[in-house]
Copies of this chain bind each other. A is one copy, B any other.
Amino acid sequence: MTHLVYPGALHTRFHHALGAMHLMSLAINLLKSKGHTITDGEEEAAILAILLHDIGHGPFSHALEHSLVTGIRHEDISAKLMQDLNTHFDGRLTHAIEIFNGTYPKKFLHQLISGQLDLDRMDYLNRDSFFTGVSEGVISFDRIIKMFNVYDDNLVIEEKGIYSIEKFLIARRLMYWQVYLHKTVISGEMILVKLLERAKELAAAGENLFASPSLNYFLKNDINEANFFEQHENLEHFTNLDDQDIYAAVKVWTKHDDKILSTLCKMLTARNLYKVEMGNERADTDRVNFLQDAAINLLGIKPEEARYFVFTDSIQNRAYHAGLGNIKILMKNNDIVDIAKASDLSNLESLQKTVEKYILCYPRGI
C-alpha cells in the first residue's frame, strides 16, 4: 500500500528476491576472498535460501493474515513450499533449507539471511528508498558487505565498519516511521482488512461475490492456523492468489448491494481513506464513541456496523533487537565486542527500545 503515499513504489517481492540473491553473491565472494571456506554447494544453497526466503508471503501479507487466512505464519508457508520443492528436486534443496532454518553448522550463512544485518534488510531498505525517493533509507550496502567477516562461524563486522552499521540501524528506524508505518499506508491496509473481513462474513452468510476461484476458496472456507496444512488444496489456492485477484474483486465489489462492503471498496479505489491519528496513548473511549456516532449519521449505517469505520489499534517497531543475535564487532586487536560497547554513542541502546504507537481510524468528513 506504500504506493498510496509514494506513487513510484510499485516494485515487487520478485525484485526484492533477485536483489537479495545478488547481495548474497557479493557477500559470499567477499568472505571467500578473506580466506573463509565456502564450497560451491554451500554457495548454491545460500543463494537458493535467500531467493526463497519470502516465498510464503501472500498478497498484502499483513492484511490477509488478519482477515482471510487468520493466524497463518508466512515463515511456515515458506518452509512448506521449500520442502515441496526439495521433494521435486530430489533433495537438492536440503542444505538450503538447513541454512534457512538455522540448523546448518556454518551459522553465518543463516545470519546473512536472517539476523541483525541480513541481506534481506539490506536489499529492501535500499530498494524502498530508491523507489519511494525517501533518501533517509539509503545505506552503503557495498561498504557494509566489505566489512563482513566470520569469527567462530558467526558473522561479524570489522571495526572500520562501525559508523556504517550505526547508519544502517538508524536508516531502518527512519524507514519504518516514514514509509512502512506511514499513516496513509496503514490506512490503506486497514481498509483492506475491514473489507475482506466483511466479504468473508457475507460469503459465510451465503452471499454471492465476484471472485477468482482461489479468492473465492478463502472467502467460502474457514482456513486457519489449525487446518491450513491439512489439505494440499489450501496451499495451491494460496500460492495462486496475488494482488490482482484482490484488486479486481475490490473494483467489482464497489457496486455490491451490501452497503458496508461497497462503501469500503469505494473508499479504497477512490483513495478516500480513513483519517488516521497516531499517538503515544490509546484513544479515549469517549472520543471513539463520539466518532462512531458521527459515522453512523454520516454513512447511514447501523450501530453494530460502526466498527468497520471507526476503530483503534496499535503498531510497534524496534530497530535493533539485542536479544536476537547481537551485532558483533571484530576489533583490530581481534577481540569480539558487542556493537553497543564498541560505538562511542548511546544511540544503539535507545534503538533497542520498542516504540509502540496507538492509532485511531475514522472516515474523512466527520
Question: Which residues of A approach B to under 8 Å, CB–CB?
Answer: 7-8, 10-12, 14-15, 18, 134-136, 138-140, 143, 163-164, 166-167, 170-171, 173-174, 177-178, 210, 212-213, 240, 242-245, 247-248, 251-252, 280, 344-347, 349-351, 353, 355
17 residue pairs from A and B, CB less than 8 Å apart = A8-B15, A10-B11, A10-B12, A134-B140, A135-B140, A135-B143, A163-B177, A166-B170, A166-B174, A173-B345, A212-B251, A212-B252, A244-B244, A248-B248, A344-B355, A345-B351, A350-B350
Chain B residues lying within 8 Å of A280, measured Cβ to Cβ, are 344
A213 touches B212 (CB 8 A): no
A248 touches B350 (CB 8 A): no
CA distance A240 to B346 in the complex (A): 46
Minimum CB–CB distance from A181 to chain B (whole Å) comes to 11
Chain B residues lying within 8 Å of A248, measured Cβ to Cβ, are 212, 244-245, 248
Beyond A138-B138, A167-B174, 12 additional pairs, beta carbon < 8 A: A7-B14, A7-B18, A10-B12, A163-B178, A164-B178, A173-B345, A210-B213, A244-B248, A245-B248, A280-B344, A345-B353, A345-B355
CA distance A134 to B164 in the complex (A): 10
Given the known interface contacts A7-B18, A140-B136, A351-B345, the answer about A251 and B247 at a Cβ–Cβ threshold of 8 Å is: no
CA distance A296 to B18 in the complex (A): 37
Residue of B nearest to A162 (CB): B177
Chain B residues lying within 8 Å of A139, measured Cβ to Cβ, are 135
Chain B residues lying within 8 Å of A134, measured Cβ to Cβ, are 140
B355 touches A350 (CB 8 A): no
B11 touches A15 (CB 8 A): no
Chain B residues lying within 8 Å of A136, measured Cβ to Cβ, are 140, 163-164, 167
Chain B residues lying within 8 Å of A251, measured Cβ to Cβ, are 212, 240, 242, 244-245
Chain B residues lying within 8 Å of A166, measured Cβ to Cβ, are 170, 174
